[in-house]
Amino acid sequence: MPMIIDGKAIAEKVKAQCRESIAALKSRGITPGLAVVIIGDDPASHAYVRSKVRTCEELGLHSLKIQKPSETSQEQLLEIIAELNADEAIDGILVQSPPPPHIDEGAVVRAIDPAKDVDGFHPLNVAKLAMDDDSGFVPCTPFGCQRLLIEHGIETSGARVVVLGRSMIVGKPMALLMMRNGIGGNATVTVAHSRTRDLASVTREADILIAAIGKPHLVTADHVKDGATVIDVGINRVVDSTTKSGYRLVGDVDFDAVAPKCSAITPVPGGVGPMTIAMLMANTIKSSQLRHRATS
């Protein structure tokens, strides 16, 4: 049986470290603050926001939730961001994705002060990631994936890593992170995607396969070599009439088929998901530390 990588346990470890950092900041009269802006009424987005706000309360961070109707204009949203950029009580800003179709998400990301961009999506933070500049913010999901590998003692240096997916949220920053010089990096990285020819032959080369393509159970046993580590980033809703909700969550990896071939694998749920929020909290604390160091 493979080692099941327990994201919940590692997320709790990250949050315990966050509590120590928050206590140190509060001893100086500083409370880190996170603002979450949500536009519209998408149920999944609201569930994610509730989790973020609840975690802030659990850790003792100041949280500000700004909820606006789906008719909110681009100009109105940019005004909200400008106010948050200027708010000294706020260290981190995120606008819950996806916004309504009329909102230019790229323009919204660029409007956030890079020093408060705890999602790590601003072009300046992406550049810092590419340049191995630790003063920037790493996107939370890739950051969490790397932390899982480190905490479980999975060697990345010299390993062949295949990242399945090329989004700016996970795939591209994940590849950059795995190539970085340092702990949890120094890997030889291939990025595969929906247009990759003979995908299974590419993914079978991976010592570490990170699946983040958003297609339920795309990765089957044929895609994975014996002894590989598999990190499943996918969170997909599939219809299941046997559940109360009428659906269940599955990953991009067919867990039952793939797990017997692996040395280690993340489950869905309970793998990468808890890490994303934990790393968001860590990024918010880092922002507070950097901002108050600059002004002290």
In whole angstroms, what is the distance from residue 124 CA to residue 122 CA? 5
Other CB atoms within 10 A of residue 43 CB: 7
DSSP per residue, 33-84: EEEEEEES--HHHHHHHHHHHHHHHHHT-EEEEEEE-TT--HHHHHHHHHHH
The b-or-e profile of 108-146 (16+ CB within 10 A means b, else e) is: bbbbbbbbbbbbbbbebbbebbeeeeeebbbbbbbbbbb
Amino acid residing at 144: G
The structure tokens listed for 227 are 């002894």
Angle in degrees, CA 2, 14, 140, rounded to 5? 85
- Nearest 5 degrees, angle CA 280-CA 118-CA 174? 75
DSSP tag of 231: E
- Indicate which residues carry an active-site annotation: 52, 96, 119
CA distance 255 to 260: 9
